[in-house]
Amino acid sequence: MARFRIHIRAALPLILIGAAACDATPPPVGMVRGAELYETCLPCHGESAVGNAEIEAPAIAGLPQWYIEEQLLGFQQSWRGGHFQDIAGMRMRPMAISLTREGDIESVAQYVAAFEPVYPSSTLHGNAGAGAAIYNAVCVTCHGPEGLGMPELHSPPVVQLDDWYLLTQLRNFRTGARGADPENVWGVTMRANTLALSDQAMQDVIAYIQTLR
Ligand code: HEC
Ligand code: HEC
């Protein structure tokens, strides 16, 4: 019995070390933590964040960190992906909600922003000439002459997005599945610019955006 007690006492430091290792605190906010978190994004957005059209997961590689953070917050707070007509957004929403630890949004956004942007090939057939007129009359004010966005207006770059994703988002803004929630302060400014666009006009402007690369 006495011998047994001695054994336990000798093993105690090892047990404590083991417990500490199991309960390891995650790395601090930054790329290492971002890489860890990105494991959960991989199944849909893919190895290089190029997306997967079959499940409507867009390419997100190289989007600016501030924009990714804002959108992840939007999915969490349900001003994005909370509308019943936004089927793809509803698929993304639980993933953002899973980022519960303070700083996780920042870490994973930093990690995704560090990927080289990809320029997915076209799948639609709009008229880029007609699209140029619309883009330069309407969109240029906020997304800029080269489609690179303007952080001060919270408008993201649009040149590196998939054309099918651009179309879904423009339709979402038009129906109010995105950008109609008053908490989505910047989305509301975007939505106003889609109300007058027909599907054809959308495809034309998308064809023009793809020439800006
Ligand atoms: C179950 C599949 C799935 C997983 C896992 C997933 N996403 Fe998504 N994500 C989507 C879909 C689908 C969309 C498109 C939503 C839409 O159409 O509005 C999306 C959209 C996004 C957007 C918006 C892009 C833009 O241009 O506005 C960001 C940012 C994003 N995801 C980041 C992430 C991050 C970071 C993770 C991991 C923490 C993640 N996603 C995990 C499916 C997924
Ligand atoms: C008044 C400024 C403004 C104008 C004009 C504007 N946008 Fe936007 N756009 C924004 C903002 C801000 C966002 C981000 C909205 C959010 O945070 O949900 C956005 C988002 C988008 C998105 C979604 C990008 C993504 O990654 O999900 C697309 C696509 C888009 N705009 C295309 C256009 C096109 C095409 C036009 C012209 C017809 C246009 N925008 C005109 C401000 C504008």
* Nearest atom, ligand 2, residue 179 CA: 18
Which pLDDT value is given to residue 26?
Answer: 87
**Any idea which ligand is nearest the CA of 163?**
2
Which pLDDT value is given to residue 23?
Answer: 55
Q: Evaluate the CA torsion angle 138, 144, 147, 152 in order and state its sign.
A: negative
Which pLDDT value is given to residue 7?
Answer: 53
Which pLDDT value is given to residue 114?
Answer: 98
Q: Which residues of the chain have pLDDT under 70?
A: 1-23
What Å distances lie between residue 102 and 94, 106, 113, 139, CA to CA?
A: 17, 9, 19, 35
- Among candidate residues 27, 108, 26, the one with its CA nearest the CA of residue 69: 108
**Long-range own/partner contacts, residues 75-78 (CB < 8 A, 24 or more apart):** 76/105, 77/183, 78/181
Structure tokens at 132: 């140029």
Q: Is the CB of 201 under 6 A from ligand 1?
A: no
pLDDT tens profile 4-34: 454 544 544 444 444 444 557 889 999 999 9
Pocket perturbation via mutation, ligand 2, pick of 190, 193, 211 by most ligand atoms within 8 A of CB: 190
Amino acid at position 172, single letter: N
pLDDT tens profile 45-70: 999 999 999 999 999 999 999 999 99
Which pLDDT value is given to residue 53?
Answer: 96
In angstroms and rounded to an integer, the radius of gyration of the C-alpha atoms of the chain is: 22
